[in-house]
């Protein structure tokens, strides 16, 4: 690989790469992030390669393997350029046909998605309802870039923003731009990024300063950071490079959670390539500016997303948070000034400089500028990553982009912000999504998980789930968090088992507020949110469990019974499925469940094709 030793050298290199690229070349793009690979993308890649080789199509069809494009529901999918044809759920056999058709410049109508109302095939990805209503500033770049090739990033204007920053030679201007873009931290707290950088820049030089990329994406249900690291790792590196120049930071660290092997792999490759090319290290592009980034892997602890815990973990210690102040910006890693930003924040930095701060600030709403990526998952038709301007309503995301409920049941709530967030009921789906509105509704933006819940989701069970999670993840340093989450879990477990009492709800609320007020770190202070928000909006469900010993959603095992109704045809599928031999009946006659044997596993209900198993 070439080593670039001046800015002109970089520009010439970029120009040479651009000259070699033909934007109209027929290209088969296969997204192969973790989701794609889990759905069979690897086999599609093998098939496409074989077909191109066997058919002698090398000069006529190009193949590009990228990270996740976002529509995980339709994986493994294929995108064909230049027409941007979107093929969902592609089988290896279909892959062969797609390669052949692409070589002929044809589109295979029978493999396309169809318009929900009319059944008309949708030719272009940008017309698919799921994509059409998004503003894909960041995610769209995942489509363009092969994450394992630095050339692929550079030819798509990558590192241009960093190089311009170096050329301009004015750190103060960089900070001014980030401040006027209005970018706020995408990790969830929403602290203005430019202000954070300014604080770091003001710290005395000489002892060394750190920049950290927080990729300890611990919120269950959120995976946009994984997708960005897998799909576009160089954008993170470029963001950090720009910040280092602006703040005088000498060392960068990306802290990635261990559960993301592909993200770690791609980031390692990206760091090595940036190093070899001379974009990291000493004397970057001959400007005498030096900055390097290393990767530190986590070992599985939710609390390490909290910045002081994260710092300890980077130091190789137990990830226990500590009291602030002093804030990490003054005393962070090894006691040196440290600024920590989330993955998505870093990915926004090159965008700010490419679009210009003013253009960036025009997207979204006042005080909430830019786009935000949400992971739209749970009981929804179209699951995947969606990128939208800040300020659009939950309803627009859930109904227009998500396509509404996955089945016949009504959507009841969305849960945002992970274990620190809360549940927002369907009646409040007109709420605009920004940091402040969500906080007002008792939840938080968090890193952007949006888990859709329907009538078959029990809110007591959800609260119990989160409290179980939090009691396990509480580091144990503060008594109220350690014991409070434990006790709240026990109370919720009692309620779910039909042993709850009315006064338990008051106790829950009291405990929740005590933990909120007295815990030291963000984990403890927000831990009660799942309880408080479900109590606020779904008190009825709690009361059903307590007073009528009923779980309306049919989830809490102790409170439900399975029975077979008159729809039963006596096919016997449930008899085979039942692990406890609890179902019996004559062939072609209505069967029955022996309640003494039934363990309420639900196997009969999920296998029944005639809707003949009731749960109540």
Partner 1 sequence: MALRTVSVVEPLNEEAPGPEAVKRNDVLRIAQTHEGERGGLIATLEGIQDAQGYLSEEALRTVADATGLSLVDVYGVATFYHGFSLQPRGNRTISVCLGTACHVRGAPMVVEEFERQLGVRAGGTTVDLEFTLETVNCLGACALGPIVKVDGTYFSNVSRGAVKGIIEQSRAEQLTGAIPVVATTNEPAMVTAEA
- Looking only at residues 201 through 230 of this chain, which bind partner 1 when binding is defined by CB under 8 A? 217-223, 226
**Least distance between partner 1 and beta carbon 130 (Å):** 10
Contact window for partner 1 (CB under 8 A) among 354-362, 366-374, 382-390, 559-567:
382-390
Residue (143 or 219) nearer to partner 1, CB? 219
Out of 1, 18, 25, 38, which residue is the one contacting partner 1 (CB under 8 A)?
38
Pairing of strands 371-378, 411-416: unpaired
Contact flag: residue 75 with partner 1 (CB under 8 A): yes
**Least distance between partner 1 and beta carbon 360 (Å):** 27
Cβ neighbours of residue 17 closer than 8 Å, sequence gap 6 or more: 151, 154, 155
Contact flag: residue 50 with partner 1 (CB under 8 A): no
User: What b/e readout covers 108-121, taking b as 16+ CB neighbours within 10 angstroms?
Assistant: beebbbeeeeeeee
- Are residues 99 and 120 in contact, defined by beta-carbon separation less than 8 angstroms? no
Contact flag: residue 416 with partner 1 (CB under 8 A): no
**Least distance between partner 1 and beta carbon 572 (Å):** 15
Contact flag: residue 388 with partner 1 (CB under 8 A): no
Out of 317, 410, 501, 597, which residue is the one contacting partner 1 (CB under 8 A)?
317
Identify the burial level of 69 via C-beta atoms within 10 angstroms of its C-beta, where 0-12 means exposed, 13-18 middle and 19 or more buried. Answer: buried
Out of 125, 137, 313, 534, which residue is the one contacting partner 1 (CB under 8 A)?
313
Contact window for partner 1 (CB under 8 A) among 31-39, 135-143, 184-192, 197-205:
31-39
Considering only CA atoms, which of 377, 385, 381 is closest in space to residue 142? 385
Residues in 562-581 at the binding interface with partner 1, rule: CB under 8 A = 577, 579
- Are residues 34 and 142 in contact, defined by beta-carbon separation less than 8 angstroms? no
Out of 23, 56, 316, 325, which residue is the one contacting partner 1 (CB under 8 A)?
316
Out of 107, 124, 406, 439, which residue is the one contacting partner 1 (CB under 8 A)?
406
Q: On the CB side of 595, how many CA atoms lie within 13 Å of its CA?
A: 9
How many other C-beta atoms can be found within 10 angstroms of the C-beta atom of residue 257?
22
Out of 10, 159, 245, 302, which residue is the one contacting partner 1 (CB under 8 A)?
302
Considering only CA atoms, which of 47, 349, 310 is closest in space to residue 185? 349
How many other C-beta atoms can be found within 10 angstroms of the C-beta atom of residue 171?
18
Residue (421 or 442) nearer to partner 1, CB? 421
- Are residues 81 and 61 in contact, defined by beta-carbon separation less than 8 angstroms? no
Q: Per the structure block, which two tokens stand in for 47?
A: 């098939």
Identify the burial level of 411 via C-beta atoms within 10 angstroms of its C-beta, where 0-12 means exposed, 13-18 middle and 19 or more buried. Answer: buried
Contact flag: residue 393 with partner 1 (CB under 8 A): no
Number of residues that bind partner 1 (CB under 8 A): 88
Distance of CA 158 to the CA centre of its chain: 23
**Least distance between partner 1 and beta carbon 473 (Å):** 8
- Are residues 399 and 388 in contact, defined by beta-carbon separation less than 8 angstroms? no
Contact flag: residue 73 with partner 1 (CB under 8 A): yes
Contact flag: residue 386 with partner 1 (CB under 8 A): no
Contact flag: residue 541 with partner 1 (CB under 8 A): no
d(CA 271, CA 210): 17
Distance of CA 261 to the CA centre of its chain: 15
**Least distance between partner 1 and beta carbon 294 (Å):** 7
Out of 179, 381, 428, 499, which residue is the one contacting partner 1 (CB under 8 A)?
381
N residues, the chain: 616
Residue (58 or 300) nearer to partner 1, CB? 300
Contact flag: residue 426 with partner 1 (CB under 8 A): no
Give me the torsion for CA of 277, 279, 285, 287, rounded to 10°.
-160
Residues in 476-535 at the binding interface with partner 1, rule: CB under 8 A = none
Contact flag: residue 102 with partner 1 (CB under 8 A): no
Residues in 340-379 at the binding interface with partner 1, rule: CB under 8 A = 375-379
Residue (150 or 398) nearer to partner 1, CB? 398
Out of 391, 403, 572, 585, which residue is the one contacting partner 1 (CB under 8 A)?
403
d(CA 244, CA 289): 9
H/E run at residue 614: strand 613-615
Out of 9, 84, 89, 133, which residue is the one contacting partner 1 (CB under 8 A)?
89
Residues in 234-263 at the binding interface with partner 1, rule: CB under 8 A = 253, 258-261
d(CA 158, CA 530): 41
Out of 99, 113, 154, 546, which residue is the one contacting partner 1 (CB under 8 A)?
113
Residues in 258-297 at the binding interface with partner 1, rule: CB under 8 A = 258-261, 294, 296-297
Residues in 445-484 at the binding interface with partner 1, rule: CB under 8 A = 449, 451, 453, 457, 462, 465-466, 469, 473, 475
Residue (318 or 359) nearer to partner 1, CB? 318
**Least distance between partner 1 and beta carbon 468 (Å):** 9
Contact flag: residue 119 with partner 1 (CB under 8 A): yes
**Least distance between partner 1 and beta carbon 359 (Å):** 31
Residues in 140-169 at the binding interface with partner 1, rule: CB under 8 A = none
d(CA 63, CA 152): 13
Contact window for partner 1 (CB under 8 A) among 113-121, 237-245, 269-277, 519-527:
113-121
**Least distance between partner 1 and beta carbon 121 (Å):** 9
Distance of CA 192 to the CA centre of its chain: 21
Cβ neighbours of residue 421 closer than 8 Å, sequence gap 6 or more: 415, 438, 443, 444, 446, 449, 526, 529, 530, 533
- Are residues 138 and 234 in contact, defined by beta-carbon separation less than 8 angstroms? no
Contact flag: residue 91 with partner 1 (CB under 8 A): yes
User: What b/e readout covers 302-340, taking b as 16+ CB neighbours within 10 angstroms?
Assistant: bbbbbbbbbbbbbeeeebbbeeeeeebbebbbeebbbbb
- For tokens 């549940």, what's the residue? 423
Contact window for partner 1 (CB under 8 A) among 185-193, 507-515, 534-542, 600-608:
600-608
Separation of first and last alpha carbons in the chain: 66
């Amino acid at each position: 690989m070439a080593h670039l030793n001046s800015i002109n050298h970089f520009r010439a290199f970029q120009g040479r790469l651009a000259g070699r690229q033909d934007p109209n070349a027929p290209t088969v793009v296969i997204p192969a992030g973790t989701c794609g690979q889990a759905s069979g993308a690897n086999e599609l890649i093998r098939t496409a390669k074989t077909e191109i080789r066997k058919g002698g199509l090398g000069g006529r069809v190009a193949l590009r393997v990228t990270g996740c494009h976002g529509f995980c529901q339709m994986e493994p999918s294929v995108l064909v350029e230049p027409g941007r044809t979107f093929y969902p759920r592609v089988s290896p056999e279909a892959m062969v046909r797609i390669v052949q058709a692409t070589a002929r410049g044809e589109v295979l109508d029978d493999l396309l998605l169809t318009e929900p109302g009319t059944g008309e095939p949708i030719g272009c990805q940008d017309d698919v309802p799921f994509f059409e209503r998004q503003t894909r500033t960041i995610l769209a770049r995942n489509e363009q870039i092969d994450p394992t090739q630095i050339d692929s990033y550079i030819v798509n204007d990558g590192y241009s923003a960093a190089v311009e920053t170096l050329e301009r030679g004015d750190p103060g201007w960089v900070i001014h731009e980030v401040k006027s873009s209005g970018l706020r931290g995408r990790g969830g707290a929403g602290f203005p990024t430019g202000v954070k950088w300014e604080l770091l820049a003001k710290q005395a030089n000489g002892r060394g300063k750190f920049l950290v990329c927080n990729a300890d994406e611990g919120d269950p249900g959120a995976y946009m950071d994984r997708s960005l690291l897998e799909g576009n790792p160089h954008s993170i590196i470029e963001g950090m490079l720009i910040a280092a120049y602006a703040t005088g930071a000498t060392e960068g660290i990306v802290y990635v959670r261990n559960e993301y092997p592909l993200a770690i792999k791609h980031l390692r490759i990206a760091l090595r390539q940036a190093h070899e090319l001379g974009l990291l290290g000493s004397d970057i592009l001959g400007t005498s500016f030096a900055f390097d980034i290393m990767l530190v892997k986590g070992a599985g602890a939710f609390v390490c997303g909290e910045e002081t815990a994260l710092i300890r973990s980077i130091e190789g210690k137990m990830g226990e948070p500590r009291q602030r102040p002093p804030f990490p910006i003054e005393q962070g890693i090894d006691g040196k000034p440290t600024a920590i930003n989330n993955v998505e924040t870093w990915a926004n930095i090159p965008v700010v400089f490419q679009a210009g701060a003013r253009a960036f600030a025009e997207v979204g709403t006042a005080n909430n500028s830019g786009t935000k990526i949400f992971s739209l998952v749970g009981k929804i038709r179209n699951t995947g990553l969606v990128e939208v301007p800040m300020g659009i309503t939950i309803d627009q995301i859930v109904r227009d982009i998500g396509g509404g409920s996955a089945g016949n049941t009504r959507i009841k709530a969305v849960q945002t912000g992970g274990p620190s967030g809360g549940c927002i009921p369907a009646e409040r789906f007109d709420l605009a999504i920004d940091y402040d509105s969500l906080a007002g509704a008792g939840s938080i933006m968090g890193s952007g998980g949006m888990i859709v819940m329907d009538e078959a989701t029990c809110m007591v069970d959800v609260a119990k789930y989160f409290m179980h999670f939090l009691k396990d993840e509480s580091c144990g340093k503060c008594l109220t968090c350690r014991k409070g989450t434990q006790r709240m879990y026990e109370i919720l477990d009692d309620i779910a088992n039909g042993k709850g009492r009315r006064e338990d709800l008051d106790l829950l609320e009291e405990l929740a507020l005590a933990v909120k007020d007295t815990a030291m770190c963000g984990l403890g202070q927000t831990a009660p949110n799942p309880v408080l928000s479900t109590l606020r909006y779904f008190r009825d469900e709690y009361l059903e469990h307590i007073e009528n010993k009923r779980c309306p959603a049919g989830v809490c095992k102790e409170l439900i019974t399975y029975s077979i109704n008159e729809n039963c045809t006596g096919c016997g599928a449930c008899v085979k499925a039942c692990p406890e031999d609890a179902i019996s009946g004559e062939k072609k006659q209505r069967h029955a469940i022996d309640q003494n044997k039934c363990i309420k596993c639900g196997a009969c209900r999920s296998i029944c094709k005639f809707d003949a198993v009731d749960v109540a």
